[in-house]
Structure 1
C-alpha cells in the first residue's frame, strides 16, 4: 500500500479487502460502536505520541470510524471524494468559506 493515499484509493483498498453489500447494517452498527469508542478515547485524551502502540488511541478509533464510513459508501457505490467536493461547494456558500 502506498504511503500517501487519496480518499479514493483508501476506499478502493477497503473495498478490495472487505466488501459485502449484504452487510450494510453490520457496517453501520460497527460505525456506531467505533464512534462510541472514539468518544471514550477523546474523553481520556489517549494519543499515539504518548504511547508505544496505536491500540486504544484516538488515532486508532479515527481509523476505525473512517474504515466503516468507507465500507458503507462502498455498499452503495458512493465515491467519497466526489461527495466531499460536492458538499464543500455547498459549505462554501453556506459558511462563506474561501
Structure 2
C-alpha cells in the first residue's frame, strides 16, 4: 500500500473527481458532510469492528476532508504546502515550540 500523504490524497481526488463547473457543488457537499459529522459526534458514534464505518465520526471526518481537498483542487491550493505555511504562522501566534 502506498504511503498516504495529504498530497497523495489530494492528487487521487483530483484524478477521480474534478470538475471546475462543480465548485459550488463541492462546497454544498462539504456543508452537508459537516452536518453529518455534527450528528455523528452528537451520537458519539465511533467505528467498531462489528458495525463498520458507515455513519460514524470516522466516516464523516473523512468525507469533510475529501470535500476540503476537492475544493482545494478547484482553487489550485496545494494543501500540504499550505499546512506547512499555516503552521509557521500558528507557531508564532500560539508560541509553539515544535515544527510540523
**Is the pair's TM-score, using the shorter chain for normalization, greater than 0.5?**
yes
How many residue pairs were aligned?
97
Q: What is aligned with 1:13?
A: 12
Cα RMSD of the aligned pairs, angstroms, is 1.2
Once residues 84 and 75 of structure 2 are traced to their aligned partners in structure 1, the CA distance between those partners, rounded to angstroms, is: 18
Gaps of 5+ in 1: none
Q: What is aligned with 1:38?
A: 37
Query: In proportion to residue count, which structure has more helix?
Result: 1
Once residues 40 and 80 of structure 2 are traced to their aligned partners in structure 1, the CA distance between those partners, rounded to angstroms, is: 28
- 1:77 and 2:76 matched: yes
Q: Which runs of 4 or more aligned residues in structure 1 lie more than 6 Å from their structure 2 counterparts after TM superposition? A: none
Q: Aligned-pair distance for 1:53?
A: 1.2
Normalised by the length of structure 2, the TM-score is: 0.92
Q: How does 1:43-82 map to 2 (within 5 A)?
A: 43-49=42-48, 51-82=50-81
Q: Which has the higher contact order (CA 8 A, sep 6+)?
A: 1
